[in-house]
Amino acid sequence: MQRRARSDRVPRAAHAHFSLPSQMRPQEPVSAKLLDGLFEPVIHVDASAIVFRIGDLSDGEARLVERAVESRQREFSTGRVLARRLLAQMNVTDFELLRDEDRVPLWPAGIVGSISHTGNLCAVAVAAETVCSGIGVDVEPDEPVGTGIERRVCTPPEVAWLDRGPAAERGHRCRMIFSVKEAVYKAFYPQLREFWGFQDVSVKIDLPAQCFTARPPASSGAGQVEGRLIRRAGWIISGVAIR
């Protein structure tokens, strides 16, 4: 939840300043099909490998990352290109997706969105504000986290859920909890501008149903939110829309 704020998404919450280690990077072809079932059809989604470059940006967008290293430029560019594709599906064209002083993307009026990238994957979701007031998507490699990370990421009931599962899945399950909390945080942050710790959000994951419930802090104004969690093609993908 808080690591160094990235230029194409909201800052991570205050407790996640560490980076979850990763050894592998799934390299299968990536398309929007990777996100099938993550949201209802009225929410537009797209996914891609990190393949676009600063030359694919508008002049205003390019200025935001002109001093960044090439890998950051490619992450940023891929997110912006996917976002433009989705906005075009909503009849919004020739729009520069800039950012505010908190590095939050400035979506067109009446539209909310979320961008996530990790390794060689970028995923974007956008929707009309009449559909949802906030949206969060997070992608992570389906790899185990290091021993002891659960003490920072998980609440006691979540640790109990890890304990009940297969030992070989413990690290993967911890990363799922991390991903869900990231998605929930990102759905609320553009409105609240409030940093949360991992312990501030509690989640329950139903793996067979590929869904989760989350209880964010009282300041969110939401008692409980529901979302989807998908494991597919070597990735963990979480999505939530705030009604």
pLDDT in tens, 3-15: 433 435 555 554 4
The answer to whether position 18 is within a domain reads: no
The answer to whether position 15 is within a domain reads: no
The answer to whether position 10 is within a domain reads: no
pLDDT at 17 over 50: no
- The three-state secondary structure class of 110 is coil
pLDDT over 90 percentage in the chain: 85
Sign of torsion, CA 130 139 183 172? positive
Query: Which candidate, 148, 122, 152, places its Cα nearest to that of 16?
Result: 152
pLDDT at 217 over 50: yes
The answer to whether position 5 is within a domain reads: no
The answer to whether position 196 is within a domain reads: yes
The answer to whether position 170 is within a domain reads: yes
Domain that holds residue 168: 32-242
Q: What is the C-alpha separation between 158 and 148, in angstroms, rounded?
A: 14
The answer to whether position 141 is within a domain reads: yes
pLDDT in tens, 57-107: 999 999 999 999 999 999 999 999 999 999 999 999 999 999 999 999 999
Which pLDDT value is given to residue 31?
A: 86
Total domains in the fold of the chain: 1
CATH number, residue 185: 3.90.470.20
The answer to whether position 25 is within a domain reads: no
